[in-house]
Amino acid sequence: MRNFTLYWVLAKEDLVRRYSGSSLGIGWIILSTLATVIIYAVIFGGVMGAQLPGTQKTHAYTVYLVSGLLPWLLFNGVIIRTCGLFVEKKPLLSKVSLSLARLPLIVILSELMIFGLSMATFLVLAWVFYGELRPAALFLLPVATLTIVILAYAVGLLLATLFVFIRDIKEVVGIALQFLFWLCPIVYVPSILPRLAAEALVFNPLTPIIGIFRAAVLDVPIPYTSFSIVSAASAGLAIASWYFLRKLEKEVRDFI
């Protein structure tokens, strides 16, 4: 419990450091979410007149877009920041005895605080201006958040281990994540894709996770089966990444 308190304190320090010097502090998280929703609503809903297939509701596409974007930003943020974490925290590791496998908690907790504020702001806006929240899926949001964090942790931990030996990995990861973004149904609906491309989306582990978030604010099916498979696979990958680090931990500490 004392160790978790240490990671929690370090995570809060990390968050405060990111917004240090600004007058609003973490209030910018709420304002940023508000700005994102307004911009997308104006551009896609007002200027471009984008409509979500199957509904004539105003702002439906904006809700569709933002409900997929926010979990992606959490996933992307954890991976990018965890990738170089061992090297970045070298001064801390030289002073305090910390578990390398638990070190990503600093990033995860910090990103979760940002995500929590952003998602809460979005859900309020979706309820006020779109008028649809589905309790069954809302109760699954903490589970979906946990799943996407576990998946990001698993990938990030593996990359952080490799980054110690191969410093170019972080640049490659940044490019790969840009491709992955467009392989996720975030800004487009699967129905506009060719049949084979749409069917291939089921192999993207982020698809059912994003589907849970979407089901909380849109009248779409809850992907129970595919989400359960991804949750189990994410846990398995996290265990594999932890084992991989454990096998190389001595070498990792020597190279840092």
The confidence score (pLDDT) of residue 25 equals 67
Domain of residue 104 covers 2-255
Q: What is the pLDDT along the chain (256 residues), one digit of tens a residue?
A: 557 788 888 888 887 887 776 666 667 777 777 777 777 667 766 555 556 777 767 678 888 888 999 999 999 999 999 999 999 998 888 888 888 999 999 999 999 999 998 899 889 888 887 777 888 889 999 999 999 999 999 999 999 999 999 989 989 999 999 999 999 999 888 888 898 888 888 899 999 999 999 999 988 899 999 999 999 999 999 999 999 999 999 999 988 8
In sign, the C-alpha dihedral spanning 176, 179, 183, 185 is positive
97: left (phi over 0), alpha (psi -120 to 50) or beta: beta
Looking at the structure of the chain, the number of domains it has is: 1
pTM of the model: 0.90
Q: Alpha carbon of 56 to those of 42, 59, 60, 69: distances in Å? A: 16, 9, 8, 22
**Which residue in the block uniquely carries the two structure tokens 């799943």?**
147
DSSP state letter for 234: H
Instruction: Count other C-beta atoms under 10 Å from residue 171's C-beta.
Output: 10
User: pLDDT tens across 191-224, in order?
Assistant: 888 988 888 888 999 999 999 999 999 888 999 9
Q: What's the token pair of residue 184?
A: 């996720």
The confidence score (pLDDT) of residue 128 equals 83
Q: Is-contact 78 108, C-beta < 8 A?
A: yes
**Which residue in the block uniquely carries the two structure tokens 């265990």?**
239
DSSP string, 165-197: T-TTHHHHHHHHHHHHHHTSSSSS-GGGS-HHH
Q: Is-contact 117 29, C-beta < 8 A?
A: yes
DSSP string, 22-62: -SSTTHHHHHHHHHHHHHHIIIIIIIS----TT---TTHHH
